[in-house]
Every structure is written in C-alpha cells, then in structure tokens.
Amino acid sequence: MKNLNALDLSGNKLKELPARSGEFNYMQEFRASKNKLTKFPEAVCSWVNLKRLDLSRNALDSLPSCMGRLKELMSMDLWDNDLAGFPDELSSMRALRFLDLRAIQFDEPEMERIQGMLPSAKVYFSQPCNCGE
C-alpha cells in the first residue's frame, strides 16, 4: 500500500491514524472527516505530495507547525473542529486555494491574520460570536 495516493477514512470513529500511515509517500488526497481525532495526525506532514485534505467534523484543538511542509496542498477542509489558532508556518503553503474554517470561533484579528498568511486562498469563516459578552 505504499503507492496509495487517495484514502477516505471518513465516519469511522477514529481517534488516531495507524502508525504506519507516515509511509504513504504518494498520498495526494486524504479524507478523515466525521471521526474523533483530537490531535492532528503528524504523519500527514510527511505527505509532501498531498493536494487535498479533509479533516472536517473532528475535535482537533491545534495544528502542528510541520504542516508548513505541505507546499503542494491546494484544498484543506477543517470545518467544525475546536481549533484555537494557526501556526505561522502555514504561510509557506503557497499552493493553497481553498480553506474551510466554518463553525470554528475565531476573533476578528485572528481571521485577518489567517487570511493575511494565505493571500491566494479563499478562506471561509463563520461570523465571530459575541456569545459570552
């Protein structure tokens, strides 16, 4: 399976990816939406040929700086996660054209910072909520 270039693990209640998933050197499209991931699977950072990534509807709380290695990534769907912010290293993802961050509560300055880091990407945000004020 080391020549695998597309994989859909959506809806499997996964809490983590198998340890050997870092060996998928030719991965171009990976979907693992609707799972129970709380930590970003760092094996994904080794998939330098990755073009599309869908980790929507999980419980991710942060993104690792190693994601900056994904220079071929064109589309990233992180909709409905528990993300608090973005590492600066994501600014090196120059190929990114689509980023879905809806249903994640960012304040206005953080949304501006994210959009500024990825000027070529269409970034989708939900409107900030003044829920506790």
pTM: 0.93
pLDDT above 90 as % of the chain: 83
pLDDT at residue 84 in the model: 86
User: Mean pLDDT, the chain, as a whole number?
Assistant: 93
Give the pLDDT band (50/70/90) at residue 89: very high
Give the pLDDT band (50/70/90) at residue 20: confident
- Reply yes or no on domain 6-10+22-125 having CATH 3.80.10.10: yes
Q: Is 34 exposed, middle or buried (0-12, 13-18, 19+ CB in 10 A)?
A: middle
pLDDT at residue 1 in the model: 77
